[in-house]
């Protein structure tokens, strides 16, 4: 174990340890390396960190899915819900939104989670529910023997009234969000900051994701990783690559990910449109629809620059911290919570300004020393973002 990680364990030893903790994965999601679900990755990292500190983590999962992460104690539950309707549907969301406005509660999302919540072991001292705030009902609080945590990684309250948001946060022992930006959106909606609303920033595994020496003289690889959907802005990267190709051909763009979370989901209309747009660039652009989680560090290791041209207010950006830990310079939109993680040494662009985006990429493609120096600074920053620190902070909040 490296000295910095030894220090992390030593500093966390004095933290009051809440154990066992139950983590509720998304209903019907995999707890597996074979999914692109960022929440499952986060639960796995937190379970590993919690148990390294001496705690025990239950991970509550559906028995219909594959689960191959080794960390945590799996608690499987069966569901009577039809296999044709395993996901929470758009119709159910609309009905719940109407119910939230009219009666102040969301019965369908609560029912959707009931079997999973009923499977939570009775000795769990805390229950962590991710994003699905409507599952945090008065019934859940009454039946839970421990403390309830609402963990927010996205802006889940867009269809909620202020009074409804205030009630659900009040039911929790603590509500945590992954960035100051996300907390601010909640505060803006309800007009004040509840005492139990806190920022809990994500960690990153800087032992798994780490710099890899690059082969001198090889084309510079510009990497994009994540869900390939319009709001993630890959089309802006393709447009910038077209401009960049007029100045130099000494680069390659590698787009990793797909619209779905599994390799069998197929290509969306947007993904097909991206391939058509990139076709004139030939070998300068390639697409890999899915990479197993275990192979992802090698993907970062084969890259030289990371691009994050998102159009939406990204709450945190797990892939940004993975790129940082891998020692890559990051060219990103100044969006949402990304600057809180990336800091002052990111290269910030407006992805819709194609020429300026291409300028930023060109500067890094043509200057190896700039790539290395920025990557080294971001690697150092990432080393302080451990999952042990994330879990230790959650333990402190739960102990209050």
- Supply the CATH number for residue 306's domain: 3.40.50.2000
Statement to judge: residues 357 and 389 lie in one domain? no
pLDDT at 193 (0 to 100): 97
Domain count, the chain: 2
DSSP-derived 3-state class of residue 106: coil
The answer to whether residue 60 scores a pLDDT higher than 50 is yes
Statement to judge: residues 33 and 156 lie in one domain? yes
Q: pTM, whole model, 2 decimals?
A: 0.92
Structure token pair of residue 371: 């790539």
Statement to judge: residues 269 and 312 lie in one domain? yes
Statement to judge: residues 57 and 110 lie in one domain? yes
Q: Where are the beta strands (DSSP E) in 56-106?
A: 57-62, 73-77
1 located within any domain = no
Name the region of 8 (left: φ>0; alpha: ψ -120 to 50; beta: rest): alpha
**Among positive and negative, which fits the CA dihedral 288, 294, 296, 300?**
negative
228 located within any domain = yes
Residue 7 pLDDT level (bands cut at 50, 70, 90): very low
Statement to judge: residues 185 and 38 lie in one domain? yes
What is the rounded CA–CA span in Å between residue 231 and residue 312?
A: 6
The 3-class SS string of 295-319 reads: HHHHHHHCCCEEEECCCCCCCCCHH
If you average pLDDT over residues 234-252, what whole number do you get?
A: 98
Statement to judge: residues 289 and 199 lie in one domain? no
The answer to whether residue 108 scores a pLDDT higher than 60 is yes
pLDDT at 65 (0 to 100): 86
- Residue 197 CA: distances (Å) to CA of 113, 133, 158, 183, 316: 23, 13, 17, 8, 17
289 located within any domain = yes
If you average pLDDT over residues 298-312, what whole number do you get?
A: 97
Statement to judge: residues 359 and 296 lie in one domain? yes
Statement to judge: residues 186 and 321 lie in one domain? no
Which strands, in side-by-side order, build the sheet including 57-62? Answer: 73-77, 57-62, 21-24, 126-130, 147-152, 174-177, 197-199
What is the rounded CA–CA span in Å between residue 313 and residue 333?
A: 9
133 located within any domain = yes
179 vs 80, residue with greater confidence: 179
213 located within any domain = no
In this structure, of 27-36, 143-152, 375-384, the range with the lowest mean pLDDT score is 27-36
214 located within any domain = no
Residue 263 pLDDT level (bands cut at 50, 70, 90): low
The answer to whether residue 14 scores a pLDDT higher than 80 is no
Mean pLDDT of the chain: 92
Residue 5 pLDDT level (bands cut at 50, 70, 90): very low
pLDDT at 149 (0 to 100): 97
34 located within any domain = yes
If you average pLDDT over residues 206-222, what whole number do you get?
A: 94
Statement to judge: residues 101 and 151 lie in one domain? yes
pLDDT at 72 (0 to 100): 94
Residue 12 pLDDT level (bands cut at 50, 70, 90): very low
pLDDT at 327 (0 to 100): 98
Structural domain for 333, as ranges: 220-383
pLDDT at 344 (0 to 100): 96
Statement to judge: residues 251 and 339 lie in one domain? yes
């Amino acid at each position: 174990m490296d000295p910095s990680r030894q220090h992390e364990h030593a500093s966390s030893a004095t933290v009051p340890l809440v154990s066992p903790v139950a983590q509720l994965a998304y209903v019907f999601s995999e707890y597996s390396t074979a999914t692109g679900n960022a929440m499952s990755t986060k639960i796995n990292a937190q379970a590993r960190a919690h148990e390294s500190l001496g705690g025990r983590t239950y991970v509550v999962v559906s028995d219909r899915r594959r689960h191959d992460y080794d960390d945590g104690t799996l608690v499987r539950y069966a569901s009577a819900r039809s296999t044709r309707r395993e996901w929470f549907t758009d119709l159910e969301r609309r009905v719940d939104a109407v119910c939230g406005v009219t009666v102040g509660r969301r019965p369908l999302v609560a029912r959707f989670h009931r079997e999973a919540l009923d499977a939570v072991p009775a000795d769990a001292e805390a229950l962590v529910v991710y994003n699905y705030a409507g599952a945090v009902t008065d019934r859940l609080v009454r039946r839970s023997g421990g403390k309830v945590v609402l963990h927010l990684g996205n802006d889940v309250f867009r269809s909620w009234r202020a009074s409804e948001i205030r009630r659900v946060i009040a039911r929790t022992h603590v509500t945590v969000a992954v960035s100051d930006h996300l907390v601010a959106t909640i505060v803006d909606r309800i007009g004040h900051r509840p005492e139990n609303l806190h920022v809990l920033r994500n960690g990153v595994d800087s032992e798994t994701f780490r710099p890899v020496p690059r082969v001198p003289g090889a084309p510079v690889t510009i990497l994009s990783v994540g869900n390939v959907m319009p709001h993630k802005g890959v089309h802006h990267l393709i447009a910038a690559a077209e401009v960049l190709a007029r100045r130099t051909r000494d680069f390659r763009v590698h787009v990793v990910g797909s619209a779905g979370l599994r390799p069998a989901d197929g290509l969306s209309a947007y993904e097909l449109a991206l391939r058509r747009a990139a076709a004139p660039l030939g070998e300068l652009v390639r697409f890999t629809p899915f990479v197993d989680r275990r192979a992802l560090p090698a993907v970062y290791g084969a890259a030289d620059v990371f691009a994050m041209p998102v159009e939406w207010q990204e709450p945190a950006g797990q892939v940004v911290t993975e790129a940082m830990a891998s020692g890559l310079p990051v060219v990103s939109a100044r969006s949402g919570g990304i600057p809180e993680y990336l800091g002052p040494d990111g290269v910030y662009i407006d992805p819709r300004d194609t020429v300026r985006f291409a300028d930023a990429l060109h500067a890094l493609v043509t200057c190896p020393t700039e790539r290395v120096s920025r990557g080294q600074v971001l690697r150092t920053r990432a080393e302080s973002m451990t999952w042990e620190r994330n879990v230790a902070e959650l333990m402190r909040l739960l102990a209050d």
